[in-house]
Every structure is written in structure tokens, then in C-alpha cells.
Amino acid sequence: MRNSSLVSINDFTKDEILKIVRLAADFEANPNRDLLKHKVIGSLFFEPSTRTRLSFETAISRLGGRVVGFSNSSSSSTTKGETLKDTIRMVSNYTDLIVLRHPMEGSARYAAEQSQVPIINAGDGSNQHPTQTLLDLYSIKKTQGTLENLNVFLVGDLKYGRTVHSLVQAMSHFNPVFNFIAPEELRIPEEYRLWLRSKGIKFYEHDEFTDIISRADIVYMTRVQRERFVDPIEFAKVKDVYILKNAMLDNTKDNLRILHPLPRVNEIDCDVDANPKAYYFQQAENGVYARMAIICSILGLA
Amino acid sequence: MRNSSLVSINDFTKDEILKIVRLAADFEANPNRDLLKHKVIGSLFFEPSTRTRLSFETAISRLGGRVVGFSNSSSSSTTKGETLKDTIRMVSNYTDLIVLRHPMEGSARYAAEQSQVPIINAGDGSNQHPTQTLLDLYSIKKTQGTLENLNVFLVGDLKYGRTVHSLVQAMSHFNPVFNFIAPEELRIPEEYRLWLRSKGIKFYEHDEFTDIISRADIVYMTRVQRERFVDPIEFAKVKDVYILKNAMLDNTKDNLRILHPLPRVNEIDCDVDANPKAYYFQQAENGVYARMAIICSILGLA
Amino acid sequence: MRNSSLVSINDFTKDEILKIVRLAADFEANPNRDLLKHKVIGSLFFEPSTRTRLSFETAISRLGGRVVGFSNSSSSSTTKGETLKDTIRMVSNYTDLIVLRHPMEGSARYAAEQSQVPIINAGDGSNQHPTQTLLDLYSIKKTQGTLENLNVFLVGDLKYGRTVHSLVQAMSHFNPVFNFIAPEELRIPEEYRLWLRSKGIKFYEHDEFTDIISRADIVYMTRVQRERFVDPIEFAKVKDVYILKNAMLDNTKDNLRILHPLPRVNEIDCDVDANPKAYYFQQAENGVYARMAIICSILGLA
């Protein structure tokens, strides 16, 4: 993967994914190294994202690298009518690598074609967010000891959530059983169901999960947004079904861990936070180590 | 104070205040050390504040540390509905210390309870701004040679000014005489008067200061804002009374110094700037050394 | 030039310009040095400018320096009514050098008078942008092997373009021939024509350039903005005349290079980008080396 961009999780083979997971563990054990000394990394966020941006910038800073960039497009030349192509050409002449967040689907692939240096896609609209998937995989490996043969519950908006789609694709390397829990309007798209069947991967669909959560190794929560529903009555009917409450964790497996890409609004009750099975804040921290691994791997430094 | 947050000036004992003042002098004598090498500090400004933010970031940079964060809330996940609690939990998993500016009173105390790392309150609404107070104390010590037995004039908005309230509390360790100069509407609140009486500290109240400024060792100016007055006629009556003019400094003590937390609008005439008794720009510079001292002290590095 | 501000290109003698061009080449050959270790540089952008800001911040970062500042005025204390004078006084007490971008003509000169540390003007309205001129000169020297005796075409808005005016002044040290190509409304101002005549420098004026481009060593393109025209019909008449198309480069000199200060909107067709005579993206990269040279020269480090 050296010197190539990371645009989609599908750019990585199973071996490459396992290499990142292994490197992330190394970086967590020893985070302060000067591997990025004298490197300058462009951090171009055309829309705000505190978590992703700060996680990348922390990873770079802890490795001794420097960041230049902007945190929203109002501070960029885009306001003067500059195209994405020209911005990328320019910044790729200044820097050793570019981290790009852009609201438009496909923008990261397009940027990678224009750039003189590798691009890491930090989210292009509803399309892909591969570094999120890699930190999710690292979090699963850390908490379960393995990525293989796990029972993975995905809950909430399975139609539009890019983190869900990428995680389904990446986990499919590791013989999982999936349980998809979503309202009818937000079911996992047909194309993913066909693809899973073609690969012989078991999956089940449900419209609630209170009764079956006892079987889960991983519960991956996402938010059900009001704006996704045409009919507000439909939203009102389902919204409370997809909220995780602490009592639901009573008879679950010891190894169960709750993940969430964050930010969370109200889809996980605050009293879950103190439950040892809640793992979303540590998951966010794992993002720093996963991103150290990704950056150094792409730059040929690890 | 190692590893504990700094939320209010009252979190510090007299000895701790004196330690910071002493350390600030050490850092001023030798500002470029690598004490913060490999440290990453979160700088979370939910409202803009150039002076405080740049002063903190300069302090961190001169000590070899790194900064991640945002300079106003529009670049943060708050726009996606994330709670302060979740933002703090996340950033405290990335960083070694958090500097927090937030418009809501009490937010810093609340954040300190949620955080895995120490919080430094860089201003929570009209409540507290303890690092301002510590740099004020360092400025007083530097210019007067002592913090003890000084005649301190506080001028302007003594009702709402958080810097005034904190300075009154902190200076009360050092046997001061206070002269409070304010319009009736902006008098120092009753609770502070009661508290000073209970501690046996002398104070006087006035509605102008031309005739008495000759007695001052320190004049601490603050702004009288139009918005504080219900009746615009009341504002018109008093506004010029609380403006410091150069001629007023003619028969003052040699050791008198003028302080102001800045930004200043028009409450100090520009011709005062060249007077050797004007000290507010050096005071701002002292903020860098005071903040070096505070950060290193909390991190157990000094 | 040590310790003095760079406000206008006219602050530099011919020898000083040549020194910067020479140093820029040294920095390009060896960009990663720690010359700015322990230096903190203020980067105050009162209006957004991705290219200029990122170029400066990359230059500083690659030399081991640190940046504090803001990327637009909404994150600054200006929103609280602070004057430019007070902001500069404050930041000059924190930092070793200030890079200033401000929309108001003359602001950089004024700031230089208030500051305790050198100011580098990174654009003050339509007035001056001297570091752009120095990177333009470095780009010309690199591509032509010399700055002397060149035929320089300047195309587009020659009335309001600050980069054009500064380049004309700076190139006049080197016995050029100028060809000015502009619509009547946007001709180079009378004062520049008088000044060139007084210095005995040859120049020609044209309203199109297809037939004469074969004589050019350098074509410096700028944008013709609709807002500059009182009559939209006048704009419609001329707008396509000042667009560079790839076919126009067919019978041009081998050493011809196309420059543009960027951002470009549509005044250079995208198919020109792949032409080896297109040089604007490399020109932007040269900005990093030129700014390293300028900063280190002013700080007495090179």
C-alpha cells in the first residue's frame, strides 16, 4: 500500500487490513516516536468534523509531524471559486500526504487522481470513511482477541450509514454472522444482501433487538435521524426501538462490547457510559493509533 | 496541584499562587525548553478569544508541545448535536491536558468531572478566568516587587467583570487595600463586600477617581459596556468618567502601573500607551509565562 | 534587511532580491532544516487565503518553527472591537515575527510601525503582496536561467492586480521588455506607464495576444473579473479574449513558461495544465522556498 492513496476500505486486502491492525497495536504500546519528523501533512476539512480531524492531528503530532490546512471550507480558497482539482494540486505540492474530508461522494477518488502525494479519505459524503472502519476493526480485535467468527449486530440506520457499509465489507473477510436491526425504511440495501449471499456469509434481519442481544459479541450502534423519514409518524413509531438502554445489557455475553462511530445524540442512554461493556470512547481513542498506523504505512515508514 | 484541574482561582492556595508566580519568572528568564516534548494539548475554544488562545498556544509551542483543537464552535462537532460531555470524553482520550473556553457558566467544572485529563478553565462565561488572574498577579509582583500591602484600584464594570472578582479574591491573601470605582449600576456585588468585611480587608467605594489616583499602586481598568445599562441616559452620564487619560497620571506614584485584561476599546486613551506607567501590553506578554508555569505545574513537570 | 519588515517589494534593493532568489534555491535543495527551532511565528489572516497561508505555514513547519494565529477574522478579537494596533502590539509580544494578511490598503505599513517584531505583508488589499512577487521572480529565474533581458507578457486585469504592479516594479531592475495585454477598462495605470518611461524601460500595450505570444519568454496570466466592469456588455465583449487556450502555445518559444498567481477560475483552460509550458502549480510550490528564504533572511538566520 506504500505511496498509494486510501480512498475506500476495498483498496485494502485482508492482509493489509491485518497489517494495520497489528501496527495500531504497536503504536498504542509506543505512541511517541519521531517517525514523522520533517513531514508536513495537509489536513483539508471542507466540512467540520472534530473527532476525525483531532484524531488525525493528534496522531500526526504524537509522531513528530506537522499539520497545515483548514477545518472548514469558509477558511479556504473555495470561497474564491477555486476548483477541488486546483486546491489538491497546490496542497500536494506543499505536503507529503493529504487527509481529505469533503461532502461530495467520489471527491476522494477524484482528488487521488489529481494529487502528487497520497490522499487519505477522511469521509466523502455518504460514500466511504475507511479510516473509521480500520479503527472499528482494531477495536473489535482488541476487545475480542480475534476478528474471526464473531456475531456482529448492526443497529439503526443501515441504509445511509457509510460506516455500516464499510464495516460489513471489511468484516466479511473474517467469517462473521451479521444481525441487522433497522426500521423498514432504513434496512441494509439490497445490493449488500445480494453481495453477502454471493459470498456465503450468514445474516439475519430484525426490527428490534431486546430479545436477541444476548447472542451478540459486538453491537455497533448508529443514529436513526428524523430527516431520513418522509412520514414523521413513522419516525415517531420507531425512534425508541433503536435506543440502547443499560438494562438491555443485563444478560449479555461477558465479551460483548458496544461500539458507536460518534458523535452520539440520544441513541445510547447516558447510563450505559459507565457499563464496562460500553466501549465507544475507547474506540475513539483507538482511532489515534489506527491513523498512526495508516499514515506511516502509506508513507513507507512502518 | 499536580494532575488536578484549574477551574477557579479558589482552587489554589496562597502557596500555590506564589509557586506559579515564581515559576512564571523562571520561564520568562528561560522560555525555550522542551518540557512539553511529545505532549499534545487540546485547545477547545467554543467562543473566539484571540488573546487567551494565542497566549496558551504560544506557551505550549515554546515548550515544544503540540496543540490540537478548534478556535470557535462552528468548527466543532457541537454543530452535530454532540454534548459537551461527549466532546470532553473524546478529546481527553486523545490529549494530555485540555484548555477550555466555553460561554456557559459552570461548564469548566462540569468538564473537569468528565475528563480523563486535567482541564484548565480559559474562561467560562462570566464566572471564572483563573489564568488571567494568575498573570495579573505575576504582573503585579513583577512591577511592585511584592504582592503584599498594595493599594489596588479597580475601575469600571465591577458587577459583571469576572477578572475583577477573581483578582479581588486572589489579592485578598496579601493584605491589600481596595478602591472600587464604578457607576452605581455596576458596583461590586454585595456578596464581595460582605466577604471582604468578614476577612477584615479594607475597601472603599467611589464613583470617580481623578482626585484619588495619586494613592494607587495598581490601577486595574475594565470596560463599561453600554449593554449593561437599562437606561441609555444613565450610560451617557457616566461613560466618560471611567476613561483613563494621560493627564490623570501626572501626580501619581512612581511605582504605579496601569493594568487591563484587554481587549481595550476606548476606556484607556491611546496616548496613555506611551506612558511608562502603562503596563497592559507587557501584562499580556506575561500571560505566556504564567501559562507555561500553570501547564507545567499541573502536568508535574515543574 | 535583517530585523526589518517586508511591506512592499520596493523595500528590497536589487541585491536583496537576488539574495532571496539565491536563498530560495538553497532551501529548495535542502528544505528540512531546524533553523526555526524554538521560534513562534504569528500567522494573522484577517481574510481567508488558503494558498498564501498554507505556503507560509508549510515553510515555517519544514524549518522546525511553530505557528500561532487565525485563518479568518471571525476567530479573532476584532469581533470584540479591538483595533488592529492593539492586536499587533499583543501578538508582537508573543511571537518572533508576524505574517499579516489584511483587507485594508496600508494596513501592513501601519502594523509594521506598531509591532515589536518584523511584519511580513502577506497582502494588504489591492496594495502590495511582496512575497508573491519574490516567488514569481524565483520562478522566472528557475525557468529562464536569468532574470535579465526577458520579454514578459502580463495579461488580464492590469489595473487592479497588485501582483502585476509589484512584478512590474521588481522586474524593472533587470532590463525587461513588457507587453501589457488588457481590455481598455483594465489597462495598466498611467502612473506605471510614466514611471517605466522615466526609467527607459520598453513596453507595449495590446488588446489581444494570440498573434504575438510567440515572442514571449514569460506569460503572466491574471483574472478579468466581471465586477470590474460598469457595463456588462463590455465584459461580455472582452471576457474570452483573455483566456489562454492550449492551441495558442503551439508556436511559442521552448523556454516560454505560463505563470499565474492562483487561484485560477477559468482564465486558463484546463487542457493547458498538462502542457510542459504550464508552470503555475510549480510556481505555487516555489512559494514555500521563497518564503523560507524571506523569513530566515529577516530573522538573520540565512
pLDDT tens-place string over residues A129-188: 999 999 999 999 999 999 999 999 999 999 988 899 999 999 999 999 999 999 998 999
Rounded (10°) angle between helices A130-144 and A14-29: 70
**Please, what is the Cα angle at B145 between B142 and B151, to 5 degrees?**
100
Which is more confident, A225 or B286? B286
- pTM (predicted TM-score): 0.94
Q: Mind giving me the DSSP string for B84-142? A: HHHHHHHHHHH-SEEEEEESSTTHHHHHHHH-SS-EEEEEETTS--HHHHHHHHHHHHH
What the block records as the C-alpha cell of A53 is: 480531524
pLDDT of residue B221: 97
**Element (DSSP H or E) covering residue B52:** helix B50-62
Give percent of chain C with pLDDT exceeding 70.
Answer: 97
Chain B nearest-CA residue for A63: B38
- Helix, strand, coil % (nearest 5) of chain A? 45, 15, 35
Q: How confident is the model at residue C236 (pLDDT cuts 50, 70, 90)?
A: confident
State the cell numbers at C255.
523556454
Q: What is the mean pLDDT of chain B?
A: 93
| pLDDT value, residue A239 | 78
**Continuous segment of H or E residues that includes residue C85:** helix C84-94
Angle of helix C107-114 relative to helix C84-94, nearest 10 degrees, comes to 50
Of A69, A75, A93, the CB nearest to C284: A93
Are B38 and A32 in contact (CB < 8 Å)? yes
d(CA B45, CA B179): 34
Question: Is residue B16 pLDDT above 80, yes or no?
Answer: yes
Considering only CB atoms, A77 lies closest to which of C50, C61, C270, namely: C50
Look at residue A74 and tell me whether its pLDDT is greater than 90: no
As a whole number of angstroms, the distance between CA C76 and CA C82 comes to: 9
- Confidence band for A1, pLDDT divided at 50, 70 and 90: low
Residue to mutate among A43, A63, A76, with most C CBs inside 10 A, is A76
* pLDDT classification of B80: cutoffs 50, 70, 90: low
Angle at the Cα of A82 from the Cα atoms of A76 and A85, rounded to 5 degrees: 100
Partnered with residue A70 across adjacent β-strands are A44
- Contact residues on chain A for C48, CB-CB shorter than 8 A: 74-77, 79
Residue A132 assigned ligand-binding role: yes
pLDDT digits (tens, 9 = 90+) for A276-290: 999 999 999 999 999
Helices (H), chain A: 14-29, 50-62, 84-94, 107-114, 130-144, 162-171, 190-198, 232-238, 280-298
Q: Which three cell numbers stand for residue C55?
A: 505556503
Write down the pLDDT at residue C247: 96
C287 CB neighbour count, 10 Å cutoff? 29
Q: Name beta bridge partners: C43.
A: C69, C99
pLDDT confidence of C39, banded at 50, 70, 90?
very high
Asked if the Cβ–Cβ distance from A48 to B91 is below 8 Å, we say no
Residue A254 pairs with which residues in a beta bridge?
none
H or E element, residue C166? helix C162-171
pLDDT digits (tens, 9 = 90+) for C9-26: 999 999 999 999 999 999
**pLDDT-derived band of residue C193, with 50, 70 and 90 as boundaries?**
very high
pLDDT over 60 at C190, yes or no: yes
What pLDDT does A38 receive?
92
DSSP per-residue letters across B138-159: HHHHHHHS-STT-EEEEES-TT
Cα–Cα distance between B246 and B271 in angstroms, integer?
Answer: 6
Q: Which domains does chain A have, with CATH numbers?
A: 9-128+287-298 (3.40.50.1370), 130-284 (3.40.50.1370)
Of B32, B50, B270, the CB nearest to C70: B50
User: Above 70 in pLDDT, residue B224?
Assistant: yes
CA dist C288 and C51 (Å) reads 10
Catalytic residues of A: 51-52, 80, 101, 129
Q: Which residues of chain C have a CB within 8 Å of the CB of A68?
A: 54, 57-58, 61
Cα A234 from Cα A226, distance rounded (Å) = 10
Measure B66 CA to nearest chain A CA, in Å: 6
Count how many pairs of residues, chain A against chain B, have C-beta atoms within 8 Å.
65
Lowest mean pLDDT among B35-39, B181-185, B232-236, C67-71: B232-236
In contact, C36 and C60? CB cutoff 8 Å: yes
Active site residues of B: 51-52, 80, 101, 129
Q: Which candidate, A58, A17, A71, places its Cα nearest to that of A287?
A: A58
Residue A70: φ, ψ to 5°: -145, 155
Residues of A in contact with B82 (CB under 8 A): 50, 262-265
Angstroms from B90 CA to nearest CA on chain A: 6
- Distance, in Å, from the CA atom of C143 to the CA atom of C280, rounded to the nearest integer, reads 12
Mutate to test the interface with A, among B93, B110, B115 (most CBs of A within 10 A): B93
pLDDT in tens, C196-207: 999 999 999 999
User: If you average pLDDT over residues C278-302, what whole number do you get?
Assistant: 97
Report the mean per-residue pLDDT for chain A.
Answer: 93
Count chain A–chain C contacts defined by CB atoms under 8 A: 65
Q: pLDDT tens across C162-182, in order?
A: 899 999 999 999 999 999 999
Q: Tens of pLDDT along A182-207?
A: 999 899 999 999 999 999 999 999 99
pLDDT at C232: 85
Q: Give the neighbours of chain A: at least 3 Cβ pairs within 8 Å.
A: B, C
- Residues of C tagged active-site: 51-52, 80, 101, 129
B176 is in an annotated binding site: no
Is the Cα torsion angle A12, A13, A14, A18 positive or negative in sign?
A: negative
**Residue B129 binned pLDDT confidence (cut-offs 50, 70, 90):** very high
Q: Do C70 and B55 touch (CB under 8 A)?
A: no
DSSP 8-state assignment for residue A289: H
Q: Tell which residue, A32, A255, A10, A230, has the closest CA to residue A121.
A: A10
Q: Do A93 and C54 touch (CB under 8 A)?
A: no
The answer to whether residue A78 scores a pLDDT higher than 70 is no
The grid coordinates listed for B42 are 487540546
Residue with cell 509580544: C93
CA angle A26, A29, A34 (to 5 degrees): 75
Size of interface B-C (CB pairs under 8 A): 65
Indicate whether C77 pLDDT > 60.
no
Task: Tell me what the mean pLDDT of segment C108-124 comes to.
Answer: 96
Map residue B224 onto helix, strand or coil. coil
Q: Could you tell me what percent of chain B has a pLDDT over 90?
A: 82
Is pLDDT larger for residue B240 or for residue B11?
B11
DSSP C268: B
B 78-97 near A (Cβ less than 8 A): 78-82, 85-87, 89-91, 93-95
The reply to whether omega before B261 is within 30° of 0 (cis) is no
Cis status of the peptide bond prior to A263, with omega within 30 of 0: yes
* pLDDT given for residue B161 in this prediction: 85
Q: Are C108 and C7 in contact (CB under 8 A)?
A: yes
pLDDT at B13 over 70: yes
What integer pLDDT is reported at residue B78 of this predicted model? 60
Residue A80: per-residue pLDDT: 66
Q: How confident is the model at residue B214 (pLDDT cuts 50, 70, 90)?
A: very high
DSSP for residue C187: P
Cell (9 digits) for B136: 495579573
Which of B74, B80, B93 minimises the CB distance to A263?
A: B80
CB contact under 8 A, B50 and C82: yes
- Contacts (Cβ under 8 Å, ≥6 apart) of B294: B6, B20, B120, B131, B134
Q: How far is CA C21 from CA C136, C145, C298, in A?
A: 10, 12, 14
Which member of A38, A82, A87 has the closest CB to residue C62? A38
Chain C residues lying within 8 Å of B50, measured CB to CB? 70, 75-78, 82, 87, 90
